[in-house]
């Protein structure tokens, strides 16, 4: 088997559990995994982040989003599966991508990440603009009109929601999404973001 | 044909290019399509149900990834093998030029006054004979055998017959080294160097120097492809390169393969037709430098304890005193990075973004030496360079790797000797085999 990221041949260590469980199809070598760095201290209020945006992470995200190498979503499949299993009975709500952008990129990377991990999710929001947050100045970002609208899917308002996104920089995107859900009456919303842009 | 279409013809002749990524206006492309000068082909074809990438023809099943495509609202397949050139999926198309191909009427004159050794002159003539007979040819040359010059006359004849010529090599560094040399001796033609990140020229060139990967962007394009893998490693004919060559070559095109280690099969096959040449020695007639072994016990522990072993320090000082550039090979990136601060010269490794600049700095004498891993073993010519291998007993230093590393030394005509030392924590069979092979090559009668 070859490493998803560096293509080097990875020796699979046969273990008893390995013999009985379904053969894993995708793998990442230890030296590639070691280049990712975990968040040591949470830098955003009310947002749980997992990894730091270092060089390896920037590379991985670039390959997933811009090189459209969908399969490398599997690098973090186990990790994301474990993370999401902490939220028992919660509904996972990904930050959506604008439909036009999704067609251009041929997939929404956030959805693909969750699917690779085998995590069920429900879209409750719709993106209203194709502008990306990173193209705007800070002031523009803070003042931009609402980025999302609530879609037609109805849930009980006391449902435990977990908003998930790939990366947080200023937190504006998340704040907007959170706002829309709160205004709709949801009372129990948590936020999980995979990558923190702040050290 | 109007000017714009002519420019498209110049660029697209022999190429196979992703639709929508052509460096031309949509209107020009539409006009070409209307006049049936170009056509579209599916980027990923399904041959007997198996996906096959039209660009790289990768045969490995694991290369092809199925995903739910939001553009098509169904399952599509993309190729991972050539993804660094921009992803191709089953819903993408590639554009080919199907009109008359571009030509040039430049009759190139070879501008080269160098002297051949007897062996070089013989091989050069044998190559010319094969070009004239339009048959494939195998040149068996040891590293540093002056193989580039041998190609000159054969290329001149091919170009003068209006053939489209390609020199292909697996490595970008070798393209960067070869292209200017060819341009220098063929000043009347534009030699195009193609490698990842190279600026895209849209004009037609009858003479292209390309990496394996860039060759995938061609189909049915070349009358003759010279494959230079005498410096390739490991010593096997690269499968990807082989596929790329077959695809980029015209149906009736020929391949001239220059290699240091042809397989027995290949040798026998070419010897039968007489299209086989062998150059046992270096072009200056001098012997290949023979490595010497020097014990360096527990070098890794010493380096880890931030101590530079005296033998290494002395070796470096000796190089610097004589003003000779040097290369220090490390068995692992980890050890090299850990020890880098003990040295006054930069370290270079495979994923190094400044790799090109650092090698150039050494060649230009801006730095005294370089620390490196095995990436630098192939295709690099630095005049007067001296080489030391640290931890030559490590598994990564196989006999063939050590032969290639030794081949870096003594490549300049005016200074054909140099020091190649294997610092080791115990002599291995691979080290012995490398030394034996070099002695054997030196003993071969020309
Ligand atoms: Zn890896
Ligand atoms: Zn491909
Ligand atoms: Zn599609």
Residue B398, φ and ψ in degrees, nearest 5: -75, 170
Find the domain containing A140 and state its range.
36-196
Residues A186 and A159 in one domain: yes
Is A8 touching B (CB cutoff 8 A)?
Answer: no
Helix (H) or strand (E) segment spanning residue A172: helix A172-183
CATH number of the domain enclosing B397: 3.40.50.300
Q: How many domains does chain B have?
A: 3
pLDDT of the residue at B234: 39
Question: Would you say the C-alpha torsion A99, B76, B221, B262 has a positive or negative sign?
Answer: positive
Chain B 270-329, residues with CB within 8 Å of chain A CB atoms: none
Q: Determine, yes or no, domain membership for B425.
A: yes
Q: Determine, yes or no, domain membership for B324.
A: yes
Residues of chain A found within 8 Å of residue B71, distances taken between Cβ atoms: 103-104, 106
Residues A140 and A186 in one domain: yes
Residues B366 and B417 in one domain: yes
The residue of chain A nearest to residue B81, with distances taken between CA atoms, is A7
Residue A135, φ and ψ in degrees, nearest 5: -80, -10
Low-confidence stretches of chain B (pLDDT beneath 70): 142-145, 230-238, 261-263, 281-286, 375-380, 411-416, 444-446
State ipTM.
Answer: 0.89
Q: How many domains does chain A have?
A: 2
Crossing angle of the two packed helices B3-12 and B26-34, in degrees rounded to 10: 90
Residues B166 and B232 in one domain: yes
User: Which of B249, B279, B309 is a domain's end point?
Assistant: B279
Q: Determine, yes or no, domain membership for B286.
A: no
Residues of chain B found within 8 Å of residue A9, distances taken between Cβ atoms: none
Q: What is the bridge-based pairing of β-strands B222-229 and B249-259?
A: parallel
By CB atoms closer than 10 A (0-12, 13-18, 19+), residue B314 is exposed
pLDDT of the residue at B445: 47
pLDDT of the residue at B263: 67
Residues B239 and B326 in one domain: no
Residues of chain B found within 8 Å of residue A29, distances taken between Cβ atoms: none
Residues A46 and A3 in one domain: no
Is A112 touching B (CB cutoff 8 A)?
Answer: yes
Residues A51 and A28 in one domain: no
Residues A129 and A192 in one domain: yes
Q: Determine, yes or no, domain membership for B340.
A: yes
Residues A26 and A40 in one domain: no
C-alpha B86: how far from its chain's center?
A: 22
Q: Determine, yes or no, domain membership for B46.
A: yes
Residues of chain A found within 8 Å of residue B78, distances taken between Cβ atoms: 68, 70
Residues B86 and B139 in one domain: no
Residues B362 and B424 in one domain: yes
Give whole-number Cα distances, B75 to A106, B63, B64, B90, in Å.
Answer: 11, 16, 12, 9
Contact between chains at B71 and A106 (C-beta distance less than 8 A): yes
Q: What is the bridge-based pairing of β-strands B369-372 and B347-348?
A: parallel
CATH number of the domain enclosing A144: 3.40.50
Residues B317 and B275 in one domain: no
Cis? peptide before B15, omega within 30° of 0: no
Residues B59 and B203 in one domain: no
Residues A96 and A189 in one domain: yes
User: Which of B279, B305, B327 is a domain's end point?
Assistant: B279
Residues B337 and B361 in one domain: yes
Q: How far is the CA of A39 from the centre of ligand 1 (A)?
A: 21
- Note every long-range contact of B24-31, with CB atoms under 8 Å and residues 24 or more positions apart, other chains counting: B24/B202, B28/B4, B29/B95, B31/B4, B31/B5
Q: Determine, yes or no, domain membership for B368.
A: yes
Instruction: Tell me the C-alpha distance between B233 and B430, whole Å.
Output: 15
User: Which of B279, B303, B319 is a domain's end point?
Assistant: B279
Is the Cβ–Cβ distance between A190 and A108 less than 8 Å?
A: no
Residues A17 and A86 in one domain: no
Mutation target to probe the B interface, by most B beta carbons within 10 A, among A70, A73, A99, A100 is A70
Q: Determine, yes or no, domain membership for B19.
A: yes
Is B368 touching A (CB cutoff 8 A)?
Answer: no
Residues B88 and B129 in one domain: no
Q: Give the N- to C-terminal CA distance of chain A in Å, as an integer.
A: 34
pTM value surpassing 0.80: no
pLDDT of the residue at A88: 86
How many other CB atoms are there within 10 angstroms of residue B192's CB atom?
Answer: 20
Residues A6 and A90 in one domain: no
Contact between chains at A107 and B89 (C-beta distance less than 8 A): no
DSSP string covering B253-301, please? Answer: EEEEEEESS--HHHHHHHHHHT-EEEE-S-TTSPPPPPPEEEE-TTHHH
For A165, the 3-state DSSP assignment is strand
Is B70 touching A (CB cutoff 8 A)?
Answer: yes
Residues A86 and A112 in one domain: yes
Find the domain containing B168 and state its range.
118-279
Residues A22 and A53 in one domain: no
3-state helix, strand, coil in chain B (%, to 5): 35, 25, 40
Residues B344 and B439 in one domain: yes
Is B337 touching A (CB cutoff 8 A)?
Answer: no
Residues B161 and B267 in one domain: yes
Is the Cβ–Cβ distance between B159 and B295 less than 8 Å?
A: no
Tens digit of each residue's pLDDT (9 = 90 or more) over B239-280: 777 888 999 999 999 999 887 766 677 778 888 888 988 877
| Token pair for B256 | 């001239």
pLDDT 10s digit of each residue in chain A, 199 long? Answer: 789 998 887 765 555 544 444 456 788 988 899 999 999 999 999 999 999 999 999 999 999 999 999 999 999 999 999 999 999 899 999 999 999 999 999 999 999 999 999 999 999 999 987 766 566 666 665 556 678 999 999 999 999 999 999 999 999 999 999 999 999 999 999 999 999 998 7
Residues B318 and B385 in one domain: yes
Q: What is the bridge-based pairing of β-strands B222-229 and B165-169?
A: parallel
Candidate from B62, B70, B80 with C-beta closest to A107: B70
Contact between chains at B89 and A106 (C-beta distance less than 8 A): yes
Is the Cβ–Cβ distance between B365 and B431 less than 8 Å?
A: no
Q: Determine, yes or no, domain membership for B123.
A: yes
**Which ligand neighbours the alpha carbon of B88 most closely?**
2
Instruction: Tell me the C-alpha distance between B292 and A111, whole Å.
Output: 59
Residue B285, φ and ψ in degrees, nearest 5: 80, -10
Residues A166 and A121 in one domain: yes
Is A98 touching B (CB cutoff 8 A)?
Answer: no
């Amino acid at each position: 088997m070859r490493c998803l990221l560096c293509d080097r041949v990875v020796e699979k260590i046969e273990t008893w559990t390995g013999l009985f469980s379904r053969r894993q199809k995708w793998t990442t070598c230890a030296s590639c995994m070691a280049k990712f760095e975990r968040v040591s201290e949470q830098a955003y209020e009310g947002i749980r982040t997992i990894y730091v945006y270092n060089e390896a992470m920037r590379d991985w995200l670039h390959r997933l989003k811009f090189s459209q190498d969908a399969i490398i979503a599997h690098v973090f499949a186990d990790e994301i599966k474990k993370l999401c299993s902490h939220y028992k009975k919660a509904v996972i709500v990904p930050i959506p991508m604008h439909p036009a952008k999704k067609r251009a990129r041929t997939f929404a990377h956030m959805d693909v990440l969750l699917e690779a991990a085998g995590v069920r999710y429900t879209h409750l929001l719709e993106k209203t603009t194709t502008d990306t947050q990173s193209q705007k100045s800070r002031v523009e970002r803070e003042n931009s009109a609402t980025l999302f609208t609530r879609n037609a899917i109805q849930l009980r308002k006391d449902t435990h929601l977990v908003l998930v996104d790939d990366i947080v920089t200023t937190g504006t995107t998340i704040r907007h999404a959170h706002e829309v859900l709160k205004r709709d009456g949801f009372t129990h919303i948590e936020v999980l973001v995979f990558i923190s842009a702040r050290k | 044909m109007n000017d714009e279409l002519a420019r498209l013809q110049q660029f697209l002749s022999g190429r196979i290019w992703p639709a929508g990524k052509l460096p031309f206006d949509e209107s020009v492309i539409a006009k070409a399509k209307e006049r049936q000068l170009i056509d579209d082909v599916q980027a990923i074809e399904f041959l007997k149900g198996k996906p096959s990438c039209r660009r790289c023809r990768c045969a490995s099943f694991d290369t092809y990834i199925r995903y739910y495509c939001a553009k098509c609202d169904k399952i599509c397949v993309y190729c991972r093998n050539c993804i660094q050139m921009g992803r191709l999926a089953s819903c993408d198309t590639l554009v080919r030029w199907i009109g008359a191909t571009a030509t040039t009427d430049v009759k190139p004159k070879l501008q080269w006054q160098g002297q051949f050794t007897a062996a070089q002159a013989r091989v050069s003539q044998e190559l010319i004979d094969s070009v004239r007979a339009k048959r494939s040819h195998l040149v068996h040359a040891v590293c540093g055998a002056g193989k580039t010059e041998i190609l000159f006359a054969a290329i001149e004849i091919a170009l003068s017959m209006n053939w489209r010529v390609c020199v292909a090599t697996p490595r970008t560094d070798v393209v960067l080294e070869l292209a200017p040399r060819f341009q220098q001796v063929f000043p009347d033609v534009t030699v195009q160097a193609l490698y990842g990140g190279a600026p895209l020229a849209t004009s037609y060139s009858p003479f292209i120097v390309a990496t394996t990967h860039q060759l995938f962007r061609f189909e049915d394009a070349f009358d003759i492809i010279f494959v230079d893998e005498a410096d390739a490693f490991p010593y096997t004919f690269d499968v990807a390169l082989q596929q790329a060559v077959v695809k980029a070559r015209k149906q009736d095109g020929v391949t001239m393969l220059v290699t240091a280690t042809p397989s027995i099969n290949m040798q026998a096959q070419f010897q039968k037709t007489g299209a086989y040449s062998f150059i046992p020695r270096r072009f200056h007639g001098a012997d290949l430098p023979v490595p010497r072994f020097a014990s360096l016990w527990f070098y890794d522990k010493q380096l880890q304890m931030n101590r530079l072993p005296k033998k290494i320090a002395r070796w470096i000082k000796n190089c610097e005193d004589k003003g000779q550039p040097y290369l220090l090979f490390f068995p692992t990136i980890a050890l090299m990075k850990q020890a880098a601060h003990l040295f006054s010269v930069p370290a270079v490794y495979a994923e190094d973004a400044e790799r090109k600049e650092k090698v150039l700095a050494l060649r230009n004498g801006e730095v005294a030496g370089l620390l490196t891993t095995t990436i630098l073993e192939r295709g690099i010519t630095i005049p007067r360079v001296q080489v030391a291998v640290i931890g030559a007993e490590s598994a990564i230093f196989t006999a063939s790797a050590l032969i290639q590393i030794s081949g870096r030394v003594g490549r300049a005509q005016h200074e054909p000797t140099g020091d190649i030392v294997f610092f080791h924590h115990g002599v291995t069979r691979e080290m012995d085999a490398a030394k034996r092979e070099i002695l054997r090559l030196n003993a071969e009668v020309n």
